[in-house]
Structure 1
Amino acid sequence: MDIQLDPPARWRRWLPSVLGLIILAFLIALLLRPISPVLSAGSTPNSAVQFGDLQLFSEALGTLQSAEQRLLTAEVGATVVAILQQPGATLTPDSPVLQLDNPQLKLQVQSARHQVAKQQSALQAFAATQQHQLLSQQAEVVRMETEVAASALEFRLHQELAEKGIAARVELRRAEFRLQQQQQLLALEQQKIIQLRQQQQAELAQQQLTLQQHQEELQLLIQQQQQLTVTAGMHGMLQQLDVELGQSVAQGQALARIGSQQLLKAQIQLDHRDADKVTVGTEVLLQTVAGNIRGELSRIEAIVQEGTVNAEVRLPASLPAQLRPAQHVQAKVRLGERKNVAYIRQLPGLTPHQTHRVFLQPANTDQHRAFARELTFGALSNGFLIIEQGASGGEVLWAPDPARWPQPEINTGA
C-alpha cells in the first residue's frame, strides 16, 4: 500500500539560503567597518594642552661681531712692498700691518724741507732789514729831539735878553717860531716811528704765516711718509686684508680691517612679526659656547629682508675669553607676557603661525580616543607653541603624520 507524504513547507527550503546571505552580509559589513588605528604614546608625539600665563620670547639666530672696528686706508697713492701680518693675527696699536712705498713722496718731502729753510732765511733777512729801518727812524727822532732842545735853549736866551731890553723882540719871535717848527717836525717823526713799527709787525706776521704754511705742508708730507708703514691703530685682530704684494693702491683705498676681540656685540636676525614688539633696551638672552649671556637691543633696522629684521645686541664689556667674532649664537628676545592663553610643548611637524590637523583627546575622560581637529597656532616662545583657537586646557594633543592618519579618530592606547 502506498503511503503519501506531505511535501515540506516552502519556507524550509529557503531557510539555508537566507541564513547564508545574512552571514555573508555580516562578514562583509565587518570587513568594511573602519577600524580606529592605535597609537603608542611612546612612539607618537603628544603633549598636554596647558592654559595660563606665558612669558613670550622671540628666538633668533645671529653671530658675534667686533663692537669696535677700524678700516685702514692708504693716505697716499703707493705700492705694497711688504705684508707684515695675515688675517687672524692679534695686534696692538703699534703693530705694523703693511709697508708701502712712494718714491715721489720722498722728493716732495725734500722739496718741502728746502722751502721751509728758504723761508726761514728770508724771514731772518726781513727781520734784520726791519731792525735797520727802525734804528734809522729812531736816529732821526733823536736828531730832531736834539734840534728841539737847541731851539728851546735859544728861545729861552732871547726871552731873557728881551726882558732885560738887550735883544730885539723880532729875534725872540724868530726863536719861538723855530722852536714850534722843530717840535712839530719831532711829533711827525715820532708818529712815523709808530706807524713803522705797526707796518713792520704786519709784514713780519705775513712772513711768519708763510713760514708756518710751509712747515705745515712739510709736516703733512712727513706724516704721509710715516704712514707708508701702516699700523693697526687699536688692540684687536686683523679680520680682513684687501691688498696683495706688489699691488698699487690709490689714496683712500681700503687696505685692511681691524676688529676688537674682547669688546663684542651680537648681530641677530629678528622675525619681522616681532620687530614692532621690541624697543631699544629690550632684554636679550644669548646662548653661546661660553654659556648664557645677557644683553640688550641697541639698534633695530627698519628694512625687512627675507622675513627678518637685523638688530644689534649690546653685550657687557667683560666677556669670557672663549668668545670670538664670527661665532654663532642663539638669541631669546623678551617680548612680554600673554595672559590666559592655551599652549603646548612644541611637537615635531607643528610650526608657528600655521593651521595644522591634529588629534585631541578630551580632558578628564577614561576613553582612549582622540578626535581630529584643525588648530591655529600662534607664536613659538621658549619651546612652547601658543594655540590661538581650537583647544582648551587639559586636553592631550597628538600630532601624527596627517598623510598616514586620515581617519577622524584614533585609539590612543586602549
Structure 2
Amino acid sequence: MDIKRPNFAKKRRRRRIIFAAAGIALALTVLGVSITLDPAAFKVGRENLWLDSVKRGEMLREVRGPGLLVPKEIRWIAAETPARVERIVLKPGSVVRPDSVILEMSNPEVAEAQLVAHSELIAAEADMAAQRATMESQLLDQRTKLADVEAQYELARMQTEAEAELAATGIISKLQYRRNQIASDQLKVRVGIEKERAAKFMQTMLAQQSAQDARIEQLRNTADLRARQFDALKVRAGISGVLQQVPVEEGQQIAAGANLARVARPDILMAVLRIPETQITDVREGQEVSIDTRNGLVSGRVIRLDPAVQTGTVLVDVDLIGALPPGARPDLSVDGTIRIERLPDVLYVGRPAYAQPDSELRLFKVDPKTGIAQRVSVQFGRASMNLIEVRQGLQSGDQIVVSDTSQWDKYDRLRID
C-alpha cells in the first residue's frame, strides 16, 4: 500500500530550482569573465615580420632614385638642306675630331645655287669697281672746275684791289672799276656754288657707295650661305668626342632639319636621376648627391629639376664632382641619393609600410617580455626614404612592426613566435 509523502515532492522541486539558479549564475559568471578578458592573440611567425626599434639621435633625410650617366655636352647634327645620303663614312662608336667627316650627301640644286651665288657676287663686285672709278673721275672733274673758278676769283679780287687806288685818283674810270668789282663778286658766288656742288656730289657718291656696299654684302652673305650649304653636304662632327648615333641609311632622302648624327663628349658626364613625384617636394638645386656607379661612389650636386612629371617621376640633373671611377661611360645605369637635410636630435624609426610624412598610423608595438604585439596610434613627422620621424606615440627603445600587416587588419593583438 502506497503512502503519500508531500514533503518529499516539495523538497525535490526546491532542489531543481536551486540547481537551475546555480547553473544560470555560473553561466553569467563565465560570460562576464569572458567579456572582461582580452581576446586571444593571433599567432604570427617572426620570420614573416620585419621589426625595428625606435632610436633617438641624428637622422639624415635622403631621397633615392635610379638614373643614367649622360654626356654633359651633346651635339645633334641636322641637315641644312634636303639631300640624298651617298655614303656613311664613320659608324657609331668612332672617335671623331671637329673636322671628321661622318657621312657624305648630294644635292645638285645646292651645288648649282652655290655657283650662281658666287658668280653674282663677282659680277656685282666688278660693277661696283667700275661705277666707283667713274664717280671718282667725276669728282676729280668737279674739283678741277672748283679750282679753276677759285683761281679766276682770286685774280679778279687782286685786280679789283689794285684798281681801287687808280679809280680814286682818276687814272681809270669808276665805271670800269665798278664793272671789275661786280665780276669779282660773281666769281666769289660761283666759288661758293662750286664748293656746295662738290660737297653734294661727295654726299651722293658716298650714298651710292653705301648702297653698293650693302648690295655686295647681301650677295656675299648669300654666297657664303650657299657655300656653307654645299660644304654641309659633307657632314662633320664639329666637336671632339665619340659618334653615338647615325640614324640614316645610304640612299635615304633627307629633309631639311632632319637629324643626321649625334656626337658626345664621353669624358664629361653628368647624372640624370628619376625621383618619384611623392619625394621631390624637398629637393632643391645645390643639394649634395651621392652617385653609385656599381664600381664606386661619385659626389655630385643638383643643378636642375625638370618642371614636368613623366610617368610618376621627375628628372633631376646632377653635376658630378671629381674623377669618375673606371668603367663609367654614357648610358650607364646608376643610383643616386640626394641629401635633403640633417635632423640633429629626433626620435626616428625605420619607415613602416604605407607611412607618409606628417600622418598618423596604427602600428603593432611589440612587448619584448611577452612577445605580444599590440596596436598603437603613432604620429609621424618628416620622412626620409628609409627612416621617418616619430612625433608622438612611441619612445626610444620601443620595438614596432614596420613590414606590411594589412593581412592582419582585423586583429588588434599578435603573438609573435
Distance 1:315 1:136 in 2: 73
Greater CA drift, 179-188 or 220-229: 179-188
Distance 2:239 2:404 in 1: 57
Q: Check 1:187–1:374 CA distance in 2 against 1; reply closer, same or farther (3 A cut).
A: same
Determine the structure 2 residue equivalent to 1:264: 269
Determine the structure 2 residue equivalent to 1:51: 55
TM-score of the pair, normalised by structure 1: 0.76
1:13-72 per-residue CA deviation (whole Å, 9 max, x = no partner) reads xxxxxxxxxxxxxxxxxxxxx999795x7x666545132133222221111112222221
Determine the structure 2 residue equivalent to 1:172: 177
Q: Check 1:56–1:179 CA distance in 2 against 1; reply closer, same or farther (3 A cut).
A: closer
Contact 1:51/1:393, CA 8 A, preserved across alignment: yes
Determine the structure 2 residue equivalent to 1:76: 81
Determine the structure 2 residue equivalent to 1:216: 221
What displacement does 1:341 show? 2.7
Determine the structure 2 residue equivalent to 1:343: 349
Alignment of 1:189-200 (within 5 A): 189-200=194-205
Q: Check 1:337–1:170 CA distance in 2 against 1; reply closer, same or farther (3 A cut).
A: closer
Q: Check 1:171–1:273 CA distance in 2 against 1; reply closer, same or farther (3 A cut).
A: same
1:181 paired to 2:178: no
Q: Check 1:219–1:82 CA distance in 2 against 1; reply closer, same or farther (3 A cut).
A: same
What displacement does 1:358 show? 8.4
1:120 paired to 2:125: yes
Contact 2:273/2:316, CA 8 A, preserved across alignment: yes
Alignment of 1:170-319 (within 5 A): 170-316=175-321, 318-319=323-324
Which residue among 335, 352, 355 is the counterpart of 1:353? 355
| Root mean square deviation of aligned Cα | 3.6
Distance 2:156 2:42 in 1: 144
Greater CA drift, 292-301 or 393-402: 393-402
Name the aligned partner's letter for residue 85 of structure 1.
Answer: L
1:100 paired to 2:105: yes
Name the aligned partner's letter for residue 277 of structure 1.
Answer: D
Q: Secondary structure at the match of 1:52?
A: strand
Contact 2:348/2:387, CA 8 A, preserved across alignment: no
Greater CA drift, 319-328 or 296-305: 296-305
Contact 1:372/1:409, CA 8 A, preserved across alignment: yes
Q: Secondary structure at the match of 1:336?
A: strand
What displacement does 1:288 show? 1.0
Q: Check 1:400–1:171 CA distance in 2 against 1; reply closer, same or farther (3 A cut).
A: closer
Greater CA drift, 85-94 or 246-255: 85-94
Determine the structure 1 residue equivalent to 2:9: none
Distance 1:178 1:401 in 2: 124
Alignment of 1:55-70 (within 5 A): 55-70=60-75
Q: Check 1:176–1:301 CA distance in 2 against 1; reply closer, same or farther (3 A cut).
A: closer
Q: Secondary structure at the match of 1:79?
A: strand
Distance 1:402 1:116 in 2: 82
Q: Check 1:91–1:177 CA distance in 2 against 1; reply closer, same or farther (3 A cut).
A: same
Q: Secondary structure at the match of 1:303?
A: coil
What displacement does 1:150 show? 4.3
Contact 1:301/1:311, CA 8 A, preserved across alignment: yes
Count of equivalent residues: 370
Determine the structure 2 residue equivalent to 1:10: none
